[in-house]
A and B are shown apart, each in its own frame.
Chain A
Amino acid sequence: MTAIASRRSARTLSVRAGAAALGRAGRAVTWYVRELMGDTAYRTYLEHHAATHGAEVEPLTEREFWRGRMDEQDQNPGARCC
């Protein structure tokens, strides 16, 4: 009885550990893709803004930020290799 219970709990434990590992791997992949594709650029800007200007200067809104970023790319094209 107790042996079965402990075996069962051991199994739930290992299932849980597996699920946790999968969850961690999933979060890591999501983090990587979002960072790589640039989804987090606005947040990076806000953090930089808060760190350098504090609260006295209003940061750009998300829409303004992305427009500005695209306009800047218009002015400074980056090469893509072959």
Chain B
Amino acid sequence: MTSQPPGSTVEARPDGPEPDPALPPTELPAAERERESRWTLPKIILWAAIALLGGVSWTMLAIVRGETVNALWFVFAAVCTYLIGYRFYSKVIERYITRPDDRRATPAEVRADGKDYVPTDRRVLYGHHFAAIAGAGPLVGPVLAAQMGYLPGTIWIIVGVLLAGAVQDYLVLFFSMRRGGRTIGQMARDELGRIGGTAAIIASLLIMLIIIAILALVVVNALGESPWGVFSVAMTIPIALFMGVYLRYLRPGKISEVSMIGFVLLMAAIIAGGWVAETPWGAELFTLDRTTIAWGIIIYGFIAAVLPVWLLLAPRDYLSTFMKIGVIVMLAGAVVLVRPEISVPAFSEFAGGELGPVVSGTLFPFLFVTIACGALSGFHALIASGTTPKLIEKERQTRFIGYGGMLMESFVAIMALVAALSLDRGIYFAMNSSAAATGGTVEGAVAFVNSLGLIGVTLTPELLTSTASAVGEESIVSRTGGAPTLALGIANIMQQLFGGPALAGFWYHFAIMFEALFILTAVDAGTRVARFMLQDSIGNVIPKFKDTGWRPGVWITTALMVAGWGWILILGVTDPLGGINTFFPLFGIANQLLAVIALAVVLAIVAKRGPSYVRWLWIIGVPLTFAAIVTITASAFKIFSPVPQVGYWSNHFAFRGALEAGETSFGSAQTVEAMEAVVRNTMVQGILSIVFVTLAITVVITSLLATVRAIRAGGGETHEDAPVASRRFAPQGFFASRAERELERRWDELPADVRPASARH
């Protein structure tokens, strides 16, 4: 694996740009790299131990069936598998697909402008990239997929990230970097031509709207009828405004300082929320129904997207980055210290059927769309092809940042899964079954959950009311969307470490708060990006719209985009069938579809690199085929399935038939209006499914055509920037090797006027 196999298909490297003889080497000499990758006894022992621990952990999870399984095995299985995947598989990709050349300068070096293009320390950039890709997605999907048992979700998250998610992120990052940071849409146009490129751009715009709408739906469900949550999340707005003004007028540039202040204020807001919710006026003022909250978020989304960035978006983004890194470190530490026992079966009663109450549909393909973020997330292609490639210092670092960054997101997903699994199953299903099933009452939930026939589960009304009051909520019945379940799981784990039951309410609302923070940041930023895409598209017809400083244009396009996601959000909130269980699959399908597009673009790029790459195309072909099959079958189920819980159209026609027959109630819809709402919602969902699958198939076909053409011609046109000789050096991974440190020292010893400007202070 580490030394060049005899008869390798890799041709000698093309000559790189001529290095400056006055400078030390800009890459580790090949002999040095070879020496470092040689197997020594300590290395063999270390990797054997990692493999052994991973193997034992997987055995404990998959084969040994005790009453319970300890959460620690999830952590070990995940970390050991990630290490092996990173050490071995990502190196295969580096050697045969990306083939980085550190003699070439990166865009950050060539176009260095001190602002957008800045060679950034790899460890810092890793944090930046992680903060940009990870949000509420990996926290929500695994929670919903827990209904199928712990094993399907665990396997997909860990294996999926190694073979699909991390591969996509790494390759998109690398090829975008070779193209000066071009976006995935621009690359699609370059590589696939007009039709494929246009389909890719329309798909990204639609997908962005769906993703914003469904994330907002998660927040609405978490805050509905929860005065404590509404108060503390609403307080993030004045806190962010204060931070914005502080940075603008009082102390510009003191970002860590103001984030610290913001964090303290946020904690105060959570604690104060508990008091306010206790008071009669607080309960009166902040107990809002879900439709009101949805309208609040829509109005807020519009205002936030037209306000200047410095006032609201940037400060909240700082706060969210600050919380993201902190919370994940805290949660991982807590799981390891508390080591909760998990009593959920490996495969639940719903793993084999398609009528699970949380999300409907069979394990294949719906597990793979329910868990998108954390295993394979197409949205990352937008990040990996935007900001990050402009900040890479050396080409070889893309493996650590792209592949390694996604592994970290996958780890977050595993943590979320563990937190959800640590809950009592009766409580889990009471929280995640829609109000259409439970009636939204404790009695209804108890009757429904006990009728599911779950082995070893007898839910009592006392358990539900006491759990709700322990976290300071009125009720936990039908709090769908994943966020409240995760918050309860986190509260459960954290209170065992800090504060005991007295602090359970604080931890619950702390978790709700950070999920809301991530989602609201994604809502603002997503609305802005979508508005720019729309301005650009309309600008092709009416040039005035391209002027981003023209306020009426900004307002019109923002209003259009907000109306787009706001409409879907309202449909979801008022859906008589529940909302999350019917709309969440669209989120997953949309996200995986974007992954299909990204992988299809990368496939064409690699095929065009030349004949020596053809043998290795399976590295992209495997995740591409899998994701394409998943999205296309999932869409086909949603379009054609005769089971009303699964197929949008069969539900649509069932309700339409009932209406035409003059019935006034049907299924869980008790009124004619509710029946009409189902007819309308299923039509929207059905149409979106058709549009998505058509766009995906278009992109895949154009990509396959481009790929076959390139293979036949022995390569194709490259859109890479011309190579420029690098004039700097930096290590490739998190830790610098001895030889890398030695070489770094030689660069540091250069006189100041020859040494490259460095972001390391």
Question: Contacts A37-B321, A49-B114; is A73 near B532 (CB within 8 Å)?
Answer: no
- How far, in angstroms, from A79 to B257 measured CA to CA in the complex? 24
Among the 9-residue stretches B16-24, B306-314, B338-346, B682-690, the one with 4 or more Cβ atoms under 8 Å from chain A is B306-314
Q: Return chain B residues, CB-CB under 8 Å to A72.
A: 115-116
- Please give the distance in Å from B305's CB to the nearest CB on chain A: 9
Q: Return chain A residues, CB-CB under 8 Å to B529.
A: 77-79
Question: Contacts A37-B318, A47-B757, A73-B314; is A78 near B256 (CB within 8 Å)?
Answer: no
Q: Number of contacting residues on B, CB 8 A?
A: 63
Per-position binary interface string of chain A over residues 69-82, scored 1 when its CB falls under 8 Å from any chain B CB and 0 otherwise? 11111111111111
Q: Return chain B residues, CB-CB under 8 Å to A43.
A: 761
Per-position binary interface string of chain A over residues 5-41, scored 1 when its CB falls under 8 Å from any chain B CB and 0 otherwise? 0000000000000000000000000011111111111
- Main DSSP-derived SS at the B contact region: helix
- How far, in angstroms, from A49 to B116 measured CA to CA in the complex? 14
- Residues of chain A in range 47-64 having any CB-CB distance to chain B below 8 Å: 47-49, 51-52, 62-63
Question: Contacts A48-B114, A69-B115, A73-B314; is A82 near B252 (CB within 8 Å)?
Answer: no
Q: Are B255 and A81 in contact (CB under 8 A)?
A: no
Q: Return chain B residues, CB-CB under 8 Å to A62.
A: 252-253
Q: Are A66 and B247 in contact (CB under 8 A)?
A: yes
Q: Are A37 and B548 in contact (CB under 8 A)?
A: no
Q: Are B383 and A79 in contact (CB under 8 A)?
A: yes
- How far, in angstroms, from A17 to B135 measured CA to CA in the complex? 40
Question: Contacts A44-B759, A77-B525; is A66 near B253 (CB within 8 Å)?
Answer: yes
- Residues of chain B in range 135-154 having any CB-CB distance to chain A below 8 Å: 135-137
Q: Is B254 an interface residue (CB 8 A)?
A: yes
Q: How large is the interface on A (under 10, 10 to 19, 20 to 34, 35 or more residues)?
A: 35 or more
Q: Return chain A residues, CB-CB under 8 Å to B387.
A: 78
Nearest chain A residue, comparing its CB with the CB of B373: A82
Q: Are A82 and B256 in contact (CB under 8 A)?
A: no
Q: Are A78 and B132 in contact (CB under 8 A)?
A: yes
Q: Is B124 an interface residue (CB 8 A)?
A: yes
Q: Return chain A residues, CB-CB under 8 Å to B761.
A: 31, 35, 40, 43
Q: Are B124 and A70 in contact (CB under 8 A)?
A: no
- Please give the distance in Å from B345's CB to the nearest CB on chain A: 29
- Please give the distance in Å from A31's CB to the nearest CB on chain B: 7
Q: Is B592 an interface residue (CB 8 A)?
A: no
- How far, in angstroms, from A33 to B326 measured CA to CA in the complex? 11
Nearest chain B residue, comparing its CB with the CB of A69: B115
Q: Return chain A residues, CB-CB under 8 Å to B128.
A: 36
Q: Return chain A residues, CB-CB under 8 Å to B253.
A: 39, 41-42, 62, 65-66
Q: Are B124 and A32 in contact (CB under 8 A)?
A: yes
Which has the most chain B C-beta neighbours within 10 Å: A36, A62, A69, A72?
Answer: A36
Among the 9-residue stretches B62-70, B374-382, B437-445, the one with 4 or more Cβ atoms under 8 Å from chain A is B374-382
Q: Are B757 and A35 in contact (CB under 8 A)?
A: no
Which has the most chain A C-beta neighbours within 10 Å: B252, B373, B526?
Answer: B252
Which residue of A35, A51, A71 is within 8 Å of B121 (Cβ)?
A: A35
Q: Are B379 and A78 in contact (CB under 8 A)?
A: no
- How far, in angstroms, from A66 to B134 measured CA to CA in the complex? 26
Question: Contacts A35-B124, A49-B114; is A80 near B525 (CB within 8 Å)?
Answer: yes
Q: Are B136 and A74 in contact (CB under 8 A)?
A: no
- How far, in angstroms, from A33 to B522 measured CA to CA in the complex? 22
Which has the most chain A C-beta neighbours within 10 Å: B124, B373, B519?
Answer: B124
Nearest chain B residue, comparing its CB with the CB of A31: B761
Which residue of B118, B309, B373, B382 is within 8 Å of A44 (Cβ)?
A: B118
Which residue of B123, B132, B136, B310 is within 8 Å of A70 (Cβ)?
A: B310
Per-position binary interface string of chain B over residues 90-107, scored 1 when its CB falls under 8 Å from any chain A CB and 0 otherwise? 000000000000000000
- Residues of chain B in range 520-577 having any CB-CB distance to chain A below 8 Å: 521-522, 525-526, 528-529, 532, 548
- Please give the distance in Å from A64's CB to the nearest CB on chain B: 9
- Please give the distance in Å from B64's CB to the nearest CB on chain A: 35
- How far, in angstroms, from A44 to B253 measured CA to CA in the complex? 12
Q: Is B27 an interface residue (CB 8 A)?
A: no
Q: Return chain B residues, CB-CB under 8 Å to A73.
A: 309-310, 313-314
- How far, in angstroms, from A33 to B518 measured CA to CA in the complex? 19
Q: Are A81 and B132 in contact (CB under 8 A)?
A: yes
Nearest chain A residue, comparing its CB with the CB of B120: A35
Nearest chain A residue, comparing its CB with the CB of B527: A77
Q: Are B114 and A32 in contact (CB under 8 A)?
A: no
Nearest chain A residue, comparing its CB with the CB of B136: A82
Q: Return chain B residues, CB-CB under 8 Å to A51.
A: 757
Q: Are B522 and A81 in contact (CB under 8 A)?
A: yes
Question: Contacts A63-B252, A74-B308; is A81 near B383 (CB within 8 Å)?
Answer: yes
Which residue of B317, B380, B528, B532 is within 8 Å of A81 (Cβ)?
A: B380
Nearest chain A residue, comparing its CB with the CB of B372: A82
Which residue of A37, A69, A79 is within 8 Å of B382 (Cβ)?
A: A79
Per-position binary interface string of chain B over residues 308-341, scored 1 when its CB falls under 8 Å from any chain A CB and 0 otherwise? 1110011001101110010000000000000000
- Please give the distance in Å from B734's CB to the nearest CB on chain A: 12
Q: Are B133 and A81 in contact (CB under 8 A)?
A: yes
Q: Is B127 an interface residue (CB 8 A)?
A: yes
Q: Are B115 and A81 in contact (CB under 8 A)?
A: no
- How far, in angstroms, from A49 to B112 measured CA to CA in the complex? 10
Q: Return chain A residues, CB-CB under 8 Å to B259.
A: 37
Q: Return chain A residues, CB-CB under 8 Å to B317.
A: 80
Q: Are A77 and B528 in contact (CB under 8 A)?
A: yes
Question: Contacts A70-B308, A78-B525, A82-B377; is A39 near B211 (CB within 8 Å)?
Answer: no
Q: Are A79 and B525 in contact (CB under 8 A)?
A: yes
Nearest chain A residue, comparing its CB with the CB of B113: A48
Q: Return chain B residues, CB-CB under 8 Å to A38.
A: 255, 318
Q: Is B591 an interface residue (CB 8 A)?
A: yes
Q: Is B215 an interface residue (CB 8 A)?
A: yes
- Please give the distance in Å from B518's CB to the nearest CB on chain A: 8
Nearest chain A residue, comparing its CB with the CB of B211: A82
- Please give the distance in Å from A1's CB to the nearest CB on chain B: 44
Q: Return chain A residues, CB-CB under 8 Å to B257.
A: 39
Knowing that A34-B256, A70-B314 are A-B contacts, what are 10 other residue pairs whose CB atoms are under 8 Å apart, sorted by A's residue number? A33-B256, A36-B127, A36-B128, A37-B255, A44-B759, A65-B253, A67-B248, A70-B248, A79-B379, A81-B134
Pick 7 A–B contacts, CB within 8 A, sort by A.
A48-B114, A52-B114, A67-B252, A70-B309, A74-B548, A79-B382, A80-B525
| B contact set with A: CB distance below 8 Å | 112-116, 118, 121, 123-124, 127-128, 131-137, 208, 211, 215, 247-248, 252-257, 259, 308-310, 313-314, 317-318, 320-322, 325, 373, 377, 379-380, 382-383, 386-387, 518-519, 521-522, 525-526, 528-529, 532, 548, 591, 757, 759, 761
| A contact set with B: CB distance below 8 Å | 31-45, 47-49, 51-52, 62-63, 65-67, 69-82
Q: Which 9 A-B pairs have the closest CB atoms?
A: A48-B114, A82-B137, A77-B528, A70-B310, A80-B525, A66-B252, A35-B124, A45-B114, A37-B255
